[in-house]
Amino acid sequence: MKANGFELDGKLHGHWEWFRQDGSLMRSGEFDLGHQVGMWRTWDRAGRLVKETSFGPSNPDPATQPQQDEAGPVGSGAADPATR
């Protein structure tokens, strides 16, 4: 998996995208200093939108946040920092 995005103060920040090994876009969304915010979208290998997940403002209560999944955090550091 490959990811493109920015970090600010050592935290994921701004727009991020995750790509599969074949280069197809898998997921994209926004971070606010390490917290997922706004609308996150997931696509299948054919480029069809398969899921949209809305995240609230930054500084969320961890008890109310969705669990991470295998695709990365939805954005986990699953990507090699060298690819950012």
Average pLDDT of span 35-42: 96
Determine the Cα–Cα distance for residues 14 and 8; give it in Å rounded to an integer.
9
Decide if pLDDT at 28 tops 80: yes
Residue-wise pLDDT for 43-81, tens only, equals 999 999 999 999 987 555 555 545 445 455 554 444 443
Model pLDDT, residue 57: 73
Q: Return the ∠ at Cα 57 (arms to 82 and 84), rounded to 5°.
A: 10
SS3 30: strand
Query: What is residue 83's DSSP assignment?
Result: G
Structural domains in the chain, CATH included, are 1-57 (2.20.110.10)
Do 36 and 50 touch, CB atoms closer than 8 A? no
